[in-house]
Amino acid sequence: MSNADNPTIGDNDRVITVRVCCPADLSAQVTALLGGNPATSTLVVHSGASLSPVGDVIEADLPREAINPVVDDLMALGVQEQGTIQLIPVPTWISQRGLAAEDRARGASADAVVWTDVVERAYDESSLTWTYLSFMVLATLLAAIAIGLVRKRGNLFRQALRTLVLGFAVSITIVAAIAAVGRAFGVVEYDDLLTSSRPGTSFIYSPNIWSLSIAIIAGAAGVLALTSAKSGGLVGVFISVTTIPASGNIALALVFGIWSEVWGSTLTLVINIAGMALAGWLTLAIQQKVWNRVSRDSVQQ
């Protein structure tokens, strides 16, 4: 049965369950806050169900686009200090009330930015781990830098920037070491690899306006992938294409002492990263401004 066959079915994490575990003295305030929200389609109170902290468990279903002001209000009550706030995406749901609540909420669920989720993912995925060596994490690192700026998270900005710099330094060093071994065994030849005509790849070490243009598009795409409920794996590959060739060429040019290409590729890499970070910051700032306004309008209605 498809969604078209039954209009009460929803999917794609359009509904999020807000689960709150809190002491009994906060339970009434949390229940009133969630119950009084017009976007709440379901509200359940489990009295005495929480053993740590000792108190109640309250669950409410809300559309994705209505989550941010609810989380802000719960944090204003101090729930995070005495208990926990969990955001649980609901992959599939069947509810006429849920559909009606989503219709009342302003904006499209796929475009809604759940800031708590975005910030947490940015912290997790910008840590320096072996996973960082994959192309996909590059998009998150660049987006994390933008999130750190927009959401004023200094620790996140410094962590993501440090991981980005260290990651490129490590990858360039490893590739340079491999290239040096290849050169020693005659596998990598100076004339064939670096001094021959390469019109198809000269953009790697000869930055121009297109380098910045592609970087801006890639940065915006990376942030949209991080904040959207519908993100695809190709975005990470798209972003890696703007940075990995330049870093690889730096390593090879270092081994063979072709300093013009070292500096040219380094400049290309810096331009690409700066362009993507700037585009990510602007994209995220616009999203925050738009969704703050949408959230306020939804609450007022």
Please tell me the distance from the alpha carbon of residue 42 to that of residue 155, in angstroms, as a whole number.
Answer: 36
List CB contacts of 180: < 8 A, sequence separation 6 or more.
255
pLDDT tens digits, residue range 39-97? 899 999 999 999 999 999 999 999 888 888 899 899 999 999 999 999 988 887 787 88
Compute CA distances 269 → 72, 75, 206, 209, 249, whole Å.
38, 40, 11, 13, 10
Q: Are 60 and 40 in contact (CB under 8 A)?
A: yes
For residues 230 and 25, which has the higher predicted lDDT (pLDDT)?
25
The single-letter code of the amino acid at 128 is L
Sign, CA torsion 129/130/133/135: negative
Q: What's the pLDDT at 73?
A: 93
Domains of the chain: 9-111 (3.30.70.120), 120-292 (no CATH)
**Nearest to residue 12, comparing CAs of 56, 61, 51, 63?**
63
List CB contacts of 112: < 8 A, sequence separation 6 or more.
63, 64, 65, 67, 229, 291
pLDDT tens digits, residue range 135-187? 556 666 666 777 777 777 788 888 888 888 888 888 888 888 888 888 888 77
Q: What is the mean pLDDT of the chain?
A: 76
For residues 156 and 106, which has the higher predicted lDDT (pLDDT)?
156
pLDDT tens digits, residue range 261-293? 889 889 988 888 888 888 878 887 887 777 667
Three-state secondary-structure class, residue 81? helix
